[in-house]
């Protein structure tokens, strides 16, 4: 347990440093460039990368901008402590016609996933579980899962047994079938409400997962 607690303490420290870094960036004078603050640059081949392949990133990102899939983006590839690719595309402010800058500050979401995945992989390296393990091995409520699919008539939905259980690997690569609820059919929301699955039950499940990892 002491080792697991050490891991989460380490993650908390890393997260705190990240927050302080972002706060420091936001508090700086906007006339001071933030590009390449800490990492030196290098030609791709100097760090074992391909210039030709990295140029494909430029083409794809510019295509996304031209097709209006995204207003703009900043891409960076670093290896062996050196930046080999760093480019800005599109607009950072369409209304005011401001082009994207390399030091543009973005609002980021889902920042807990990196830390959670890091903790999981540290435990995996020590042999506490296999990536192919079903999560029901640790959380019995996920045993014998069912899935929500269109009916044969196509005008409604039905629940059928899943062909396999959700694995830890699927949780890590976002292929578990679990949903945030965005874009789901109305019928699914009605079933969740009928089953009494609300915010309180989700929070209790999260707490159960946390206790599980601490006791591994």
Model pLDDT for residues 18-37, shown as the tens digit of each residue:
443 444 444 344 434 444 45
Alpha-carbon torsion, ordered 69, 184, 156, 147, to 10 deg = 110
Q: Can you give the pTM of this predicted structure?
A: 0.47
Tell me the sheet residues that pair with 88: 74
Q: Would you list the domain boundaries of the chain?
A: 34-107, 112-214
User: Do 180 and 189 touch, CB atoms closer than 8 A?
Assistant: no
Which listed residue (27, 110, 132, 164) is catalytic? 110
Say if residue 89 is exposed, middle or buried (CB neighbours under 10 Å; 0-12, 13-18, 19+). Answer: buried
Q: What share of the chain is helix, strand, coil (3-state, %, to 5)?
A: 45, 15, 40
Model pLDDT for residues 152-187, shown as the tens digit of each residue:
776 777 788 999 999 999 999 888 887 765 555 666
Compare 204 and 190 and report the one with higher pLDDT: 190
110 given a catalytic annotation: yes
How far lies 165's CA from each of 108, 162, 169, 176, 177, in Å? 31, 7, 11, 9, 10
Tell me the sheet residues that pair with 157: 150
């Amino acid at each position: 347990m002491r080792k697991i607690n050490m891991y989460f303490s380490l993650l908390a420290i890393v997260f705190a440093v990240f927050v302080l870094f972002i706060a420091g960036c936001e508090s700086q004078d906007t006339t001071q460039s933030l590009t390449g603050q800490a990492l030196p640059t290098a030609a791709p081949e100097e760090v074992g990368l391909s210039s030709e392949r990295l140029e494909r990133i430029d083409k794809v990102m510019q295509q996304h901008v031209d097709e209006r899939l995204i207003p703009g983006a900043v891409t960076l590839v670093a290896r062996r402590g050196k930046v080999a690719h760093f480019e800005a595309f599109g607009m950072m402010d369409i209304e005011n016609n401001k082009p994207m800058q390399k030091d543009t500050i973005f609002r980021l979401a889902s920042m807990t996933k990196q830390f959670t995945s890091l903790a999981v992989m540290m435990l995996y390296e020590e042999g506490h579980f296999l990536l192919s393990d079903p999560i029901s091995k640790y959380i019995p409520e996920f045993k014998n899962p069912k899935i929500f699919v269109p009916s044969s008539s196509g005008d409604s939905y039905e629940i059928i047994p899943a062909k396999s259980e959700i694995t830890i690997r699927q949780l890590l690569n976002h292929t578990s079938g679990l949903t945030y609820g965005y874009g789901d059919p109305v019928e699914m929301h009605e079933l969740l409400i009928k089953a009494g699955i609300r915010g309180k039950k989700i929070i209790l499940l999260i707490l159960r997962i946390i206790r599980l990892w601490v006791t591994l």
